[in-house]
Every structure is written in structure tokens, then in C-alpha cells.
Amino acid sequence: MDEVWKQSANFLVIDDQEYNINLLERILRRAGFSNIHCTTDPKRLDTLFDEVQPDIILLDLHMPEMDGFAALKLLKERVLESNFLPIVVLTADVTQEAKKEALHLGAHDFLTKPLDKTEVVLRINNLLKTRFYHLQLQDQNQRLEQRVQERTAKLEQAKLEILELLGRTSEFRDDQTGQHTQRVGRIAKEIATSLGLPKQEAELLERATPLHDLGKIGIPDEILLKPGRFTPEEFEHMKTHTTIGASILEGSQFPDLQLARTIALSHHEKWDGTGYPSGLSGEEIPLAGRIVAIADFYDALTHERPYKRAWSEEEALTEIQKQRGIHFDPQVVDAFMGIIRRNNNFE
């Protein structure tokens, strides 16, 4: 066994006979062990277990007031199954019943009195080697788990950065700050929370929303950046950014991108069925699309673009109220207005 481990191994010896304690201590010290903690009072087991933090316990079976079986029951409650802590029973009672009961309560081995020093050292060395290798494996597993968690966190961060970059790509030509997509995501999350959606779903919506206009990368500049009103033909072309975005995002196995596809396809649908691309109405429109419709509408109105001035907040809120039940889901409008009244800040 590794000498460093032998020197650091902590023993807890419990036997009501002073003679047995002294004998075991001599045997162990001659074998090279030094951290030996002994008691003749089994009632001190609970306290000594915390103080010593033993690597092995030597326990007499027949003691007054608290016998070895009671001590084993106490240790069974204190020792996790995943932590291999060898418990060696010291006894002159070698009946099958006693052995079965002790093993059932967590004992790992037996040393029969009178003790044979060679047998004591060999059995203890074997048990401590097993504990040493167990702790090594446990430590390696913990380090491996930590590395897996760190790599998973890095992958998650990379995914979030990619989502953000994709969102900024879709807005770059008419919002070079790239902040519109992030603002819309934050507003959507707050609306979702106000509507009572679970935190995890609200956060997923915040991550997916910035890709709502990804399809704009397929719209020519002369249409996308045109000042003033579109011709009917230009507007029909502009509408295709919803289906373009959905096509780009189609087929992903990631919940973020699956939700982003739903939003890209549905955030221009209207409550009364006059929206695009599918003319869905009411609750036929996915809730995520209904939420992002208001978030996108509000933020686009209240911020300047190359082809439009920024509306005042009062103008934007008045328009949203006018569109309650026409363009927008009434419940989503009410949730949005409640947020405005509470904090009046989406920046």
C-alpha cells in the first residue's frame, strides 16, 4: 500500500476492554499506522465519527450500554453507501447468526479474538487499499464530472452566442446596433412571465425570439430599406421573410431553434385572421407568435430606422390598445400593458 496513504489513514477503534485497545494500538503502530483514535466508551461513537473522520473502524461486538449491533445501526445512518468505509468487527462470537446480522448492518470483515497480529495487519491493509482505490476513483469521477459540466457550460454559451449572432445578422441592414432583437427577446420574456408561463419556458422564449426576423436576409435592400409605403408587389415580397426564416430554421433538434422557427413563421399573424403568411386567427396562432407580435411591434415603433421616425411611447401604446382583439391577442395586450404600468422600462 502507498506509504503516504498508510501514514494518513485515520483509525477509530471502539472496544470496552482497555487491554484490547492497547493490543490493537501496538499492532497498528508497529505496522506503520499512526493516526489511531481509541475509546472504551461506545456512546462516544457519534461524536468521534465527526471528529476523526475515519478511514476504517474497528468495532467490538459485545459491549455494555451500546453493543456493536447498535453501533453498526448508527453508522449505517451516518455512512453513505457511495462512500466505502470499511468496518471490521472484533469478536469472540463467531456464530453464523452474529455474522449475518453484522454483515446485514454494514460490517465488511471480522477479526476473531484472541487477535492474531499478522491476520490483523493483512486484513486491514487489504481493506484500506480498497478504500484508497475507491476514493481515487471517486475523485477521478468528480473531476471528470466537473470537466463535463464545464464543457457543457461552454457549449451552452457557444450556442447562445450563435443564436445572438444569427439574430443580429437578421437585423444588421436596418438596425446596425443589433439591439432590436435583444430588446424584443427581453420584452417577450416579461410578457410570458406575466402570463404565468414557467420560468424555463419564458427563458427559452427570450433565447429564441431574436431569430424572429432571420428571413430578412433573403429580402433585397431596395425593399427592406425602402422609405415610405410598399407597393402591393413589394409587400408580398416582404411577407416572405416569415417563410424564409422558417425554412432556414427547419429541421433542428434544439428546442431553441424549434421555437425560433415557430416564432419566425407566426409573429405576423393577426388575431382577427388578416395576418400572414397563413391567415391564422385567435388561438390558432401559437402563443409564442402572439407574444412576439406585440414585443416586435412595440419596439419597432419606438425606435428609429433608416426608413422611419421613432414613435413616442404614448403613440405606440395607444396604437396597441386600438389593435386589441384585431391585430393582437387581448390577453397578451393586457399582460403587456400591466408590465408597462409596473416598470415602464424595456431598454
The CATH number covering residue 259 comes to 1.10.3210.10
Whether residue 230 contacts residue 308, with contact meaning beta carbons closer than 8 Å, is answered with no
196 and 292 in one domain? yes
Indicate whether 23 belongs to any domain: yes
Task: Judge residue 303's burial from the number of C-beta atoms within 10 Å of its C-beta, 0-12 exposed, 13-18 middle, 19 or more buried.
Answer: middle
114 and 70 in one domain? yes
10 and 87 in one domain? yes
Indicate whether 209 belongs to any domain: yes
189 and 304 in one domain? yes
Gap between the Cα atoms of 325 and 11, Å rounded: 76
Residue at a domain's end among 142, 160, 194: 142
Indicate whether 283 belongs to any domain: yes
Indicate whether 163 belongs to any domain: no
Is residue 176 over pLDDT 90? no
Q: Which residues fall within 8 angstroms of residue 305, CB to CB, at 6 or more apart?
A: 174, 175
Cα distances (Å, whole numbers) of residue 172 to 165, 179, 282: 10, 10, 32
Among the listed residues 128, 139, 136, 121, the one whose alpha carbon sits nearest the alpha carbon of residue 56: 128
- 77-102 mean pLDDT: 85
CATH number at residue 41: 3.40.50.2300
CA distance between the termini of the chain: 64
Cell 490493537 belongs to residue? 24
Range of the domain at 239: 172-343
Per-residue pLDDT band at 325 (split at 50, 70, 90):
very high
- 131-157 mean pLDDT: 88
Indicate whether 157 belongs to any domain: no
- 272-291 mean pLDDT: 97
pTM tops 0.85: no
Is residue 8 over pLDDT 90? no
Cα distances (Å, whole numbers) of residue 108 to 21, 197, 319: 20, 52, 77
CA angle 205, 209, 212 (to 5 degrees): 145
181 and 319 in one domain? yes
Among the listed residues 124, 210, 194, 153, the one whose alpha carbon sits nearest the alpha carbon of residue 339: 194
134 and 176 in one domain? no
25 and 138 in one domain? yes
Indicate whether 101 belongs to any domain: yes
Tens digits of residue pLDDT in 218-264: 888 888 888 778 899 999 999 999 999 999 999 988 899 999 999 99
Is residue 1 over pLDDT 80? no
Per-residue pLDDT band at 217 (split at 50, 70, 90):
confident
Is residue 64 over pLDDT 90? no
Residue at a domain's end among 142, 163, 188: 142
Gap between the Cα atoms of 153 and 147, Å rounded: 10
Cα atoms in the 13 Å half-sphere on the side-chain side of 31:
24
CA quadruple 137, 141, 143, 147: dihedral sign: positive
Indicate whether 181 belongs to any domain: yes
Gap between the Cα atoms of 250 and 60, Å rounded: 69
> Measured in whole angstroms, how far is the alpha carbon of residue 155 from the centre of its chain?
14
- 280-299 mean pLDDT: 96
246 and 126 in one domain? no
Among the listed residues 216, 309, 229, the one whose alpha carbon sits nearest the alpha carbon of residue 268: 216
> Higher-confidence residue: 130 or 92?
130
Q: What is the pLDDT of residue 343?
A: 75
316 and 180 in one domain? yes
Is residue 82 over pLDDT 90? no
**Total tally of structural domains belonging to the chain:** 2
Gap between the Cα atoms of 119 and 8, Å rounded: 21
Per-residue pLDDT band at 297 (split at 50, 70, 90):
very high
Residue at a domain's end among 126, 142, 158: 142
CA quadruple 76, 78, 82, 86: dihedral sign: negative
Whether residue 209 contacts residue 249, with contact meaning beta carbons closer than 8 Å, is answered with no
Is residue 268 over pLDDT 80? yes
Q: What is the pLDDT of residue 80?
A: 78
Indicate whether 87 belongs to any domain: yes
336 and 192 in one domain? yes
Q: What is the pLDDT of residue 173?
A: 62
318 and 234 in one domain? yes
138 and 229 in one domain? no
